[in-house]
Structure 1
Amino acid sequence: MSLFSGASTTAASNAAAQAQGDCSQDVQLQSPPDDSISDLSFSSQSEHLAVASWDKKVRIYEIAGDGNSQGKAMYEHDAPVLSCVWSKDGTKLASGGADKQAKLYDISTGQSSQVAAHDAPVKCVRFIQAPQTNAEMLVTGSWDKKLKYWDLRTPNPVATLDMQERVYTLDVAQGLMVVGTAERYINIVNLSNPTVLFKTMQSPLKWQTRVITCFPDASGFAIGSIEGRCAIQYVDDKNSGMNFSFKCHRETPSSGPQNVFSVNAISFHPTFGTFSTAGSDGTFHFWDKDAKHRLKGYPSVGGTIPATAFNRNGTIFAYAVSYDWSKGHVGNNPAYPNKVMLHPIKEDEAKPRPPIKKR
């Protein structure tokens, strides 16, 4: 389905048929967490998937070529884990949690240790390359309204950036870091000068920011909100004419008002630069931002989707199916599904297609 009208009826019908995705070959991850899943992260060096969960644990799985999986390691926080990310070389895994700390797990030793602390839960963790030295550092974003940079060899942060509000989401690509906070603030940081905010803006979306993910080429970022919308934003002002937003993860019943769902996760394909959205409606979709159309839409998976990730070469798309707390405590129940699914990517699913010609 095109994001914009204008295609002929026949062409639109054909495009709609092509855009129907199939989940029947998806494989379930073995021995999933015991509670809601908060984050997924694939290593960029191997077929290992990290899964962060509200059961206070981070699990590492090895994924075989046929989609079969095996648990390889696990370590714990003192409270629910909210974020996890691999180091660039794949030798370490960082995680942040509601215990107000970030931990680092060393693959070679099998040991975890605390490497960062905040005055409130650590919502986001990412690795960055330090300016000048290119040494790998950890950046942590917290509900204490602070962003901290950590040299993992020392116990204190090397720098702190004050945010306007609680940090809800952050992402990094090359020299770009984008931070989304409460009250819809978005802070852009040029990592060649990481202690200064390069640009601050309000989200172009009218409701609370749920997720921000940087383009792989670092030219911009995608934003998802709780109101079933996604925005595409470019960093350079000269490209502002390319910014746009669109509706997604909405449901129109035969009668009554439209149902609107949160966009919980956005992941970019590492090769094609296309991206996925997943939401509280239990569906995920693949999009082409340059052609401004949807590539594939998939049926409901039977529960909300809180997190997604592509593997290093884009052949596997992992998505979690577990409660995302979008309806508060009353929405959770013991029968709610709690699993991670692995979707094998066929090239036509995520590869950009020529746009539909208008008549």
Structure 2
Amino acid sequence: MASTSGGGEKLLTNPPGDSISKCLFASNSNNLLVSSWDKTVRLYDVSSDVEKVKYEHKAAVLDCAFSEDCSTAFSGGLDRELLMVDLETSSTTVLGSHKSAIRCIEHSERAKMVFSGSWDSTLDMWDPRAHNALAGSQDLQGKVYAMCLSEWRLVVGTSGRHVYIYDIRNMNEPEQTRESSLKQQTRCIRSHPDGSGYILSSIEGRVAVEYFDPAREVQDKKYAFKCHRSMDINTGVQTVFPVNAIAFHPTYHTFATGGCDGVINIWDGNLKKRICQFPAYRMGISAMDFNYDGSLLAVAVSYTWELGPVDHDRDHIFIRTVRSFEVQPKTKRR
């Protein structure tokens, strides 16, 4: 039986002025990088509730990423430019551009590369140390909608429910090409911390647990489940909400999902059980991330235009204190 949590949380006092597309904790501190449709990328110290850095694009920003040491930010969006910004000096470099919006960005310290996925149906590789930064490009079937990096594997989800799995040591072709096991458009992909696979969500209120190993006995373990749905007790009509965000807990490897219903669920993927559910926020969850030790969860509460142009509350970022029972796997009953 899932429990409902009442953990403590606080609001960041100076959130972006439009929908929040990404929030990402640094790997070594409580600094939080946030991109937004208000054209900005901001760096907050959530411990002191201070906005440390703010820089702007020419249009809405759809994704951002840290360098390995978290001294540099990479970002892109509707202006089609991939920016690299020194967070200490605010020095800005345009690494390159796409023919359409940049939807997803990942940085790999292992490969010394930045990967950008675009609505122009390409995946580009950039060397931030080089004068001519473009190091390669892959044509894909469909617009890039989601992307994640885990060690040497890069997973890319595109329109048409295509999923590409690359070994970044050999980007000449995908290691695997799959079709999403979910029936509707991919919304988010996140790699499992142990490198065994990934979690994929869609607009249909469903989540799929997938594994990289193509062996049949491993693929037989994959599964999908319904979530982020509500039933009207008077009419019996069920409303299905897109699952916008997935975040893994760094210690327990349980994972959170956030949807347009404003609800966050915490799941034990091994036992296929929900651990807890947080009380619903007033708008949908557009992005979220655990900090480096799993003690905090950043929650971006934003209207994501799923109902078109309607009046809505201001966008907020909540910093939630995480309690161990909310994220710790349940003991398996004998």
Q: TM-score, normalised by structure 1?
A: 0.89
1:135 to partner: Cα distance = 4.8
- One-letter code of the match for 2:222? N
1:69 CA displacement: 1.1
Q: In the aligned structure 2, how far is the partner of 1:21 from the partner of 1:192?
A: 43
SS at 1:172's partner residue? strand
| Aligned counterpart for 1:36 among listed residues 1, 19, 41 | 19
Secondary structure class of the residue paired with 2:326: helix
Aligned to 1:142: 118
Deviation at residue 87 of structure 1 after TM alignment:
1.0
The equivalent residue for 2:195 is: 218
Q: One-letter code of the match for 1:97?
A: G
The counterpart of 1:260, out of the listed 233, 240, 255, is 240
Q: Counterpart of 2:221? A: 242
Q: State the partner residue of 1:169.
A: 146
Return the letter of the residue paired with 2:169: S
1:32-74 superposed Cα distances (whole Å, 9 cap, x missing partner): 011111111111022100110111000100021xxx4111010
Q: Is 2:6 the partner of 1:22? A: yes
Shift of 1:156: 4.0
| Paired positions, count | 330
- 104-113 or 256-265: bigger deviation: 104-113
Q: 2:158 aligned to 181, 186, 191, which one?
A: 181
CA distance in 2, matches of 1:220, 1:183: 21
Are residue 339 (structure 1) and residue 319 (structure 2) matched? no
224-233 vs 266-275, greater mean Cα deviation: 266-275
Correspondences of 1:100-139 after superposition (within 5 Å)? 100-129=80-109, 134-139=110-115
| Structure 2: tracts of 5 or more residues without a match | none
**Structural mapping, 1:56-95, within 5 Å:** 56-64=39-47, 68-95=48-75
Which one has the bigger strand percentage? 2
The correspondence for 1:47, drawn from 17, 27, 30, is 30
How many angstroms apart in 1 are the aligned matches of 2:331 and 2:242? Answer: 29
Q: Percent of aligned positions with the same letter in both sequences? A: 36
1:337: how far off? Answer: 2.7
Q: Distance in 2 between matches of 1:192 and 1:351?
A: 34
Q: What's the CA shift for 1:356?
A: 4.2
Distance 1:222 1:45 in 2: 24
Counterpart-to-counterpart distance in 1, 2:161 and 2:253: 26
2:104 and 2:149 mapped to 1: Cα distance? 11
Distance apart, 1:288 and its partner CA: 0.8
Specify the SS of the correspondent of 2:4.
coil
User: Which residue number in structure 2 is paired with residue 10 of structure 1?
Assistant: none
1:282 aligns with 2:262: yes
Gaps of 5+ in 1: 1-14
Whole-Å separation in 1 of the counterparts to 2:19 and 2:52: 20
Amino acid at match of 1:36: S
Corresponding residue SS for 1:307: strand
